Amino acid sequence: MELLKGFLCFLLPLALLQLLLALVRRGRSSTQRLPPGPISLPIIGNFFQLGNKPHRSLTRLAQTYGPIMSIKLGQLTTIVISSPTMAQEVLQKQDISFSNRFIPDAVRAHDAHKLSIIFQPVNDRWRSLRRLSYTHIFSGRVLDATQHVRRKKVEELMTYVRKCCHQGKTVNVGRAAFLSSLNVLSNTLFSVDLADSERDEARDFKELVWNITLEAGKPNMVDYFPALRSIDPQRIRGRMSLYFLKVTSLFGKMIDKKMEMKTFLRDISESDVMDMLLKISQENTNEVDRDQLVQMCMDVFVAGTDTTSSTLEWAMTELLRHKTVMENAKNELKQVVGDGKQVEESDIDKLPYLQAVIKETMRMHPSVPFLIPRQVYAEVNLCGYKIPKDAQVLVNVWAIGRDPDIWESPMQFKPERFIDSKIDVRGQDFELIPFGAGRRICPGLSMAMRILSTMLGSLINSFGWKNEGDIKQENLDVEVEEKFGITLQRANPLLAVPTPI
């Protein structure tokens, strides 16, 4: 951060000298028809207006400049979308023009972007990998077949919390959810635990995922000043290269072990997702090869752990702040599931209030407040404005979720707003799109909702909860500070004490 400040201070004198030229260009820009936006300083653009919580500062700017706004971040033109109507234009009606991803320099480390389903452009290779991941990991058929894995991991989470309850210990809610999500994915793909085991590679992997999300969430000067790419002044790409190398090495070893087992035991059954994917790879390497399988694993694990755990942590935070909501959720669970019992996936559809709690959490605390940024590769017209080639496009779902023109009392946590409402999170209702929408909607949506519902429901149905130190209700607001990064997390972890029911 000190390096970033120093660099900006160095550029500021040059920026001021060129301000007059910028204003002249601004006057001529009417022919370009860029969306409206604040005047930017030369070279550095609007950096100083972002602050350390850009989702909030861009929301405030949108109140002045409208639901489609342009800002300048260094040399990068950025378009900010802040309404459901504009989001639908970008993600659905004109999604082919906005379907490619902006590739952060951090993701270019170890050439991860070249194989990543998340960052590859929409082409035949992307479609093939997307279809493969959905068919064999995230389809309803596969999720039904692997629900025993998720049930077991939720049961293990309950065992851990029960132990903390008996010993009077606090639970780091986000960390516990992260480890459970990690083991759900590792057992689904490899039939092994990658957390809470004695194996060194399990502990190493847990740290690697945390480090990757940390580095990917940092502002990187190279993204806004491409000329700095060869220098990598913050060393973000250098550290990410090391992390990616370790992760790909770990997954590569796990895949190679499975390949060896298939070589010596030709009649081995497909016991998990990776067995099936390896069978497909061996039958047709053009469909998917080893390197693509390794990258697919990294995409699934990095994207599927931090987002799920942060959403569950925010949900528990809001339930602890709103005792009536907690009581309502507990009463529903008691009636449908039974007091103190673990929630099964077959119970989810019978728990509308629990689902409303999760939707309300995603409305107020979307795990990825700007979704994954898009980039246009050719000039495109959007609602009468010209979006220039290579512009970055941010969809501010945090702003949409708190827009008073859309939501009544948007700053209040009110799950009741979703009772008898048809609004869902599956990409058709643009007031609530925490997983995105269109052809690049998150493929893990259904798995995430199953994990969140069973984990959150089981936690609040099996235990009473209080904040560490028994913080008074009226003082809870000051504890809920945000930390902006690749996901929107609490600045301080939620430490809660489980109590017997």
Task: Single out the residue of 368, 291, 305, 256 nearest to residue 112, CA to CA.
Answer: 291
What does the CA dihedral 38, 42, 45, 51 come to, rounded to 10 degrees? -100
Q: Rounded distance, CA 238 to CA 209, Å?
A: 16
Task: Single out the residue of 103, 357, 367, 373 nearest to residue 222, CA to CA.
Answer: 103
What's the pLDDT score for residue 122? Answer: 93
Element (H, E) at 12: helix 2-17
- Residue 96, token pair as written in the block: 């082919």
Spatial CB neighbours of 141, under 8 Å, sequence gap ≥ 6: none
Spatial CB neighbours of 197, under 8 Å, sequence gap ≥ 6: none
Distances (CA, A) of 68 to 75, 368, 396, 428: 19, 19, 10, 20
- Residue 33, token pair as written in the block: 């028809």
- Residue 375, token pair as written in the block: 């980039």
Task: Please give the single-letter amino acid code of residue 141.
Answer: R
Give the 3-state secondary structure of residue 38.
Answer: coil
The residues spanned by each domain of the chain are 2-499
Q: Rounded distance, CA 438 to CA 436, Å?
A: 7
What's the pLDDT score for residue 14? Answer: 43
Q: Rounded distance, CA 281 to CA 457, Å?
A: 38
What's the pLDDT score for residue 461? Answer: 97
Residue 323 burial by Cβ neighbours in a 10 Å radius (0-12, 13-18, 19+): exposed
Place of tokens 């399990």: 202
What's the pLDDT score for residue 29? Answer: 46
What's the pLDDT score for residue 21? Answer: 43
Distances (CA, A) of 214 to 211, 218, 305, 488: 5, 7, 13, 11
Q: Which residues pair with 71 in a beta bridge?
A: 78
Q: Rounded distance, CA 366 to CA 398, Å?
A: 6
pLDDT in tens, the chain (501 residues): 444 455 555 455 444 444 444 444 444 444 469 999 999 998 899 988 988 889 999 999 999 999 999 999 999 999 999 999 999 999 999 999 999 999 999 999 989 999 999 999 999 999 999 999 999 999 999 999 999 999 999 999 999 999 999 999 999 999 999 999 999 999 999 998 888 655 555 567 777 877 887 788 778 999 999 999 999 999 999 999 999 999 899 899 999 988 887 776 655 556 789 999 998 988 887 888 999 999 999 999 988 888 999 999 999 999 999 999 999 999 999 999 999 999 999 999 999 999 999 999 999 999 999 999 999 999 999 999 999 999 999 999 999 999 999 999 999 999 999 999 999 999 999 999 999 999 999 999 999 999 999 999 999 999 999 987 545 555 555 447 787 777 888 888 999 999 998
Q: Rounded distance, CA 224 to CA 318, Å?
A: 36
Which spans in 101-235 are helix H?
124-133, 140-145, 147-167, 173-190, 200-216, 221-224
> CATH assignment of 2-499, given 1.10.630.10, 2.60.40.1180, 1.10.8.80, 2.102.10.10?
1.10.630.10
State the angle between helix axes of 323-336 and 352-364 in degrees (0 to 180), rounded to the nearest 10.
150
Q: Rounded distance, CA 275 to CA 115, Å?
A: 20
